[in-house]
Amino acid sequence: MDTQLITALLTDICTGTDLPEPRRDPIRVWSLSGVERLTFPDNTTAIYKFASPPFTTEDQVLHAAAAAGIPVPAVIGAIVRDDLLGMVIEDLGEPVRDATEQDGIIAAIALHQATPAVDLPELDAEALTVLPVLAREHLNRLRDKGRWTVGTDDIAAMLEALATGAAKRAEGATIAPWGWVHSEFHPTSLHISADGWCLLDFARAFTGPGLLDLVSWHGTVDDADPGRVRRFIEAYVAAGGHPDALNERGGLTPQAWALGWHRVWAVEWFMEQALRWINDPSQDGVYIDVVRRHLRTAVHLLEP
């Protein structure tokens, strides 16, 4: 990313919001986005986030989430210029503790009960059905570039199987809970303060099956655990989440359906990163390993 543009965006945001020039302290920076803490001369602070595509609409999503009553950091100012988002938001400070499963359930219920935003992309049954097809197209383009050509026939075969069975297994996508999906719904995205909780990192939010948030909570590093997810869904329903979360869909249990489709969604995203957003052949081995692991899980759970 263009460091001069990142600085210029911050300067223009501060000028437009009558903020003085701050001190900048990096918190986390990677190839597509970064987060800094800003400290102003009076020792007040804010957070500066900058991001390149596909993360350049987070300010709009945060405004929509706030309007829907979802606790999120306030947007102080934001500018998109030359495909780069600069955004200054409220600094929530350090959390008082890590988020627990019960915190996640409370936040998920509030998120899924909020009025859906009208401008978010939608992941319904038709869009789910297309995911393995898109991933297969990503693979073909990678191979056309001389990448992912060795030892990936199993990936192609699993994508073909998933594409063949996708329409049947995608049925029931709009069964409640349906609406806001955070998509990065992990304990690290839930900030716990003395005053309550706030959800962070809304850059990839969409409208879709809320079950995808519930299976996202425990991450994708460890093997999928349908029993653990089932208990989480049951606790969500017992706490006031929509009872239809326990309904079968696509001929599968809700935990198998959601875990399987979440892995397919992640695979398509990882492959698009490898092809388009990151586009770094030196990282292909890492991406291939992750995609293969998630595809094996998806095929096992979705039974295409």
* Position 15 confidence tier, pLDDT thresholds 50, 70, 90: very high
Crossing angle of helices 254-272 and 226-238, in 10° steps, is 110
Beta carbons of 6 and 86 less than 8 angstroms apart: yes
pLDDT at res. 31: 84
Residue closest to 221 by CA, chosen among 293, 165, 279, 132: 293
CA 111 – CA 65 distance, rounded (Å): 9
- Fold exhibited by the domain 3-90: Phosphorylase Kinase; domain 1 (3.30.200)
Beta carbons of 245 and 177 less than 8 angstroms apart: yes
Each residue's pLDDT tens digit, 91-148: 999 999 999 999 999 999 999 999 999 899 999 999 999 999 999 999 999 999 999 9
Q: Extract the tokens encoding 279.
A: 């586009």
C-alpha distance from residue 204 to each of 58, 143, 185 (Å): 8, 27, 10
- For the stretch 92-107, pLDDT in tens is 999 999 999 999 999 9
CA distance 160 to 18: 55
pLDDT at 187 over 90: yes
Give the chain's mean pLDDT.
96
Phi-psi region of 122 (alpha: psi -120 to 50; beta: other; left: phi over 0): beta
CATH number given to 101-302: 3.90.1200.10
Q: Give the pLDDT mean for 266-286.
A: 94
Entry pTM: 0.95
Sequence spans of domains, the chain: 3-90, 101-302
* pLDDT at residue 82 tops 90: yes
DSSP letters, 226-248, are: HHHHHHHHHHHHHTTS-GGGGS-
Instruction: Using pLDDT thresholds of 50, 70 and 90, give the confidence band for residue 1.
Output: confident
User: Which of 246, 235, 238 is closest to 175 using CA atoms?
Assistant: 246
Overall size of the chain counted in residues = 304
pLDDT at 301: 98
